[in-house]
Amino acid sequence: MSLSLARVASPDSLASSVHSRGKDYVLYRGDSLALMEKFDEHTFDLIFADPPYFLSNGGFTCSGGKRAPVKKGGWDESQGIEHDHEFTTAWLKACQRLLKPTGTLWVSGTQHVIFNVGFAMQKLGYKLLNTVTWFKPNASPNLSCRYFTHSSEIIVWASPGSKGRLQHTFNYQSMKTQNGGKQMRDVWTMLTPRNAEKEHGKHPTQKPVQLLERIVEASSNEDQVVLDPFCGSGTTGVAAVAKGRRFVGIEMDEQYLELSRRRLMAAPRP
């Protein structure tokens, strides 16, 4: 790596919050909003955020073909639409400060949260670049039979500023090559994480490595720094280091930080 990760993304004010580190990653334990305040502005080239969807409020889902309650954790419980929107606006504003002018933010979500995210982005002055639809051909069935089967998530891709000439990184030719020489469209068909991606443990909202690898490759370059403020199982980090980037993850839960550490240590490098 041409620059040490400590020089660009490990300020002294965060030293006490370090959970673990390697030559190309740092994991911090703590509240995302509090920790993001301690980074210098324009630190990151790419941010991927998989925030709470606020679904753990007495609903049900399908797990292993059976009806199961949605109980991902206290972090996923809604505190009411106004409070949820305030939280969303706060972390999006923090990300906006931390992104370089050439950087971009990707945010994943379902109908329960993604419109809130989009509205907050527009009010903050982000430039919405694309909404990518991730289609899951192996999505769980809908047990109530009162809705269409939920088989997709929306990922909003945005630049931190909407004024002036866009400077954001987009590796267009790479994406075109991966798509057989044709322009890549905004609907991506990818399976949910397979068992091999859960050998070190699992997270209830885990994303497939393939999805994050595409995002990392599309909107950053080698040796650049990627942040995930809701690190979870560390999939963003696994994809980032596998593609020659450096990674910073923030997570509150010790269990998931340990899972992220194990996955990062085992991740392939170029």
pLDDT tens per residue, range 29-73: 999 999 999 999 999 999 999 998 766 455 545 455 555 444 555
Q: Which domain holds residue 235?
A: 5-266
Instruction: Read off the pLDDT of residues 234-270 as tens digits, 9 standing for 90 and up.
Output: 999 999 999 999 999 999 999 999 999 999 999 999 9
- The pLDDT value recorded for residue 62 is 47
Contact 221, 169 (CB under 8 A): yes
Residue 67 token pair? 């009806």
Q: Is the pLDDT of residue 75 over 70?
A: no
> Could you tell me the pTM of the whole model?
0.89
Residue 93 clears pLDDT 80, i.e. is over it: yes
Q: Does the structure show a pLDDT above 70 at 84?
A: yes
* pLDDT tens digits, one per residue of 137-160: 999 888 888 889 989 999 999 999
- Measured distance CA(232)–CA(228) in Å, rounded: 9
Cα 185 from Cα 176, distance rounded (Å)? 9
Strand arrangement of the beta sheet that strand 25-29 belongs to = 18-22, 25-29, 246-251, 225-228, 44-49, 99-109, 152-159, 127-135, 187-189
Q: How many domains does the chain have?
A: 1
Looking at residue 186, which CATH number applies to its domain?
Answer: 3.40.50.150
pLDDT tens-digit map of 99-126: 999 999 999 999 889 999 999 999 999 9
Nearest CA among 215, 199, 208 for reference residue 266: 199
